[in-house]
Amino acid sequence: MAETVFLFVKIEWFDWTSPNERCTITFPITRMTKDIVEDKLPVFATPVALNRRFAASALLDREPNLDYVARLTYEDCQAPVLFAKLGNSHILIDGTHRYLASVAHGLDSIPALILEEKDWLPYVTIKGNLADAYLDASGKPE
């Protein structure tokens, strides 16, 4: 993975809170991307279909800098976003602005790197019970 370049890493960490708000996972993005580039953290590279419903919710939930999103070019959107696999779901942990710009450019997919749960778990800080992260907002399993 050493050939992958992360030109857009601007955050040191990303906090994700489960839909039921009983678990928060802090991902150390700077450290994780460094280890990916140095082949110390395995990833699976694949294009990911863009989900416009997710993009709409990200506009509200993640409070992105829309001026920055508007400045991103098609070429900028070719840098991979980073997902962490969690059970049957995936969490976008780095690349929200590129994801939103890709939707705005009318693209169907975006390059992505996927982290398996067993690989990202040693990096993160968890507040609450990780088992709660697998439950939706109503407390039911995903």
CATH code, 90: 3.90.1530
Domain assignment of residue 128, yes or no: yes
Number of domains, the chain? 1
Render pLDDT for 30-81 as a digit per residue (tens, 0 to 9). 999 999 999 999 999 999 999 999 999 999 999 999 999 999 999 999 999 9
Q: Which pTM does this prediction carry?
A: 0.88
The span from the CA of 140 to the CA of 20, in Å, is: 9
Domain assignment of residue 141, yes or no: no
Residue 140 DSSP class: -
Cβ atoms of residues 123 and 32 within 8 Å = yes
Across 2-6, 16-20, 131-135, 138-142, least confident range: 2-6
Domain assignment of residue 6, yes or no: no
Supply the pLDDT for residue 106.
97
Domain containing 113 equals: 14-132
What stretch of H or E contains 125? strand 125-128
Supply the pLDDT for residue 7.
45
Domain assignment of residue 9, yes or no: no
